[in-house]
Amino acid sequence: MNKRAFEIQFNWLFVLIAGAAILMFFTVIIVKQKGVSETYAKSTVLKSVESIINSASVTTDTVKKEEIPASSIEIGCNRISVGRVSRQYQNLVLFAPQATNGEDIIWQTMGFNVPYRAANFLYITSQQVRYIIIGDSDLSKEINRSLPSELNKGFYSASGTSQIKNNNDQKIRFVIVSNARNAPDASYLQKFQKMKDSDVTAIVFSGNSEKGTIDFYRKKENIWEKEGHSMYIGKAAFIGAVYSDSKELYECSMKNAFSRLRIVNKVYIEKTTKLKNDISNPSCNYQAALEELELIGDSSILDPATLDIGQFQSKINNLVSASKSLSDENKELQRYSCPLVY
């Protein structure tokens, strides 16, 4: 090889190596920047959800539709994730489907009153989820009334379910109110057979607006598979069960709600003890209210996941009765112009 040929070949080799180095340099930067941008976009969505949670903690009985960048929000027990970005909580009271997609998020808040306000329940869903309420009882009507009009929902009587149509929604949630506690009719699934099993769920309520049982079901091909059962106390809890599409999520939020209830209850016990000692008016009977508060405290030590249904039922019954009695005691105090407990 002569000198000239070597020179040309060396030149090309040099250009190739230098070009590859420059290309590689920019490729690495672009790939890294893309990753950073994706994480930034996901953390923006997460921040939006966090701000919803913050707003919800300072408002009650509110419904709002909020636009967020298109993404999938995954809700777990005390955890919210958007892709790989996630936020862990110690005590989150949030009722929502396990995965929420879309650009429009609908959120609702409701006070958990037993009988004093103990917590603010937050419900999150999207218009991609369709809620089909079936029933003729007062409870089914109350569920329909309590779910906001912004939601993709339909209300059918038990005899009118043939009118239910497949509107190609992303997720379907059947909300059935039936005191017979039977599994949902398999015929409901006929129009939704092509949907993924995880996208079709059902919940069967049995009880009234004060308390009752809930059975969770999930589509498995052409039949309904039972996921488990639980209980509810009050309107805020049964609406929570409508929004949560899994038993685990519902019970996790309820466990956290009861934990908050215990904190608030302790404060009310202290306040009522002080009122009992300080108020000399014999008509102001704080002892009865104090006993009911102590009963509420004992009954709220419950973790739905660890108790059997019998124990759970008995604690819920005690809680409902103590809550009613405390409400009566508070009204009685008001009648005698005494300082109120709550």
Partner 1 sequence: MKNAQIQIGETIAVLFVFFILITIGFIFYSKVIRSNIEIEKDELSQLQSIAAAQKVLFMPELQCSEENIIVDSCIDLMKLRALSRDTIRKENELHYYDLFGFSSIEITQAYPSQPGAYILYSKPLAGARSKFVTNIPMGLYDAADRTRKFGILKIETFIS
- What is the nearest approach in angstroms of partner 1 to the Cβ of residue 40? 12
Applying CB under 8 A, the span of 2-10, 145-153, 199-207, 229-237 interacting with partner 1 comes to 2-10
Give CA–CA dist 24/44, Å, rounded.
30
Q: At what angle do helices 234-243 and 247-278 cross, to 10 degrees?
A: 160
The H-assigned helical ranges of the chain are: 3-56, 138-146, 234-243, 247-278, 286-299, 309-335
Contact call for residue 271 and partner 1 (CB under 8 A):
yes
Single residue of 274, 301, 314, 336 touching partner 1 by CB under 8 A: 274
Smallest Cα–Cα separation from 175: which of 199, 197, 207, 153?
153
> Scanning the structure block, which residue is given the tokens 């369709």?
130
Nearer CB in complex with partner 1: 115/135: 115
Single residue of 62, 72, 113, 209 touching partner 1 by CB under 8 A: 113
Residue 192 three-state SS? helix
Give CA–CA dist 242/153, Å, rounded.
12
Contact call for residue 117 and partner 1 (CB under 8 A):
yes
Nearer CB in complex with partner 1: 4/194: 4
Contact call for residue 3 and partner 1 (CB under 8 A):
yes
Give CA–CA dist 329/290, Å, rounded.
10
Contact call for residue 303 and partner 1 (CB under 8 A):
no
Applying CB under 8 A, the span of 233-241, 242-250, 267-275, 313-321 interacting with partner 1 comes to 267-275
Alpha carbon of 151 to those of 27, 135, 148, 189: distances in Å? 45, 18, 6, 21
Contact call for residue 91 and partner 1 (CB under 8 A):
yes
Smallest Cα–Cα separation from 286: which of 296, 277, 299, 294?
277
Nearer CB in complex with partner 1: 40/103: 40
Q: Going by DSSP bridges, is the β-strand pair 211-220/152-156 parallel, antiparallel, or unpaired? A: unpaired
Smallest Cα–Cα separation from 212: which of 220, 221, 203, 222?
203
Give CA–CA dist 233/217, Å, rounded.
20
Contact call for residue 116 and partner 1 (CB under 8 A):
yes
- What is the nearest approach in angstroms of partner 1 to the Cβ of residue 266? 6
Nearer CB in complex with partner 1: 223/336: 336
CA-based end-to-end distance of the chain: 99
Contact call for residue 7 and partner 1 (CB under 8 A):
yes
Applying CB under 8 A, the span of 4-12, 139-147, 167-175, 305-313 interacting with partner 1 comes to 4-12
Single residue of 9, 37, 57, 166 touching partner 1 by CB under 8 A: 57
Contact call for residue 58 and partner 1 (CB under 8 A):
yes
Nearer CB in complex with partner 1: 196/266: 266
Give CA–CA dist 133/139, Å, rounded.
11
Contact call for residue 164 and partner 1 (CB under 8 A):
no
Where do contacts with partner 1 occur on this chain (CB under 8 A)?
3, 7, 10-11, 14, 18, 22, 25, 54, 57-59, 89-92, 113, 115-120, 259-260, 263-264, 266-268, 270-271, 274-275, 278-279, 330-331, 334, 339-340, 342
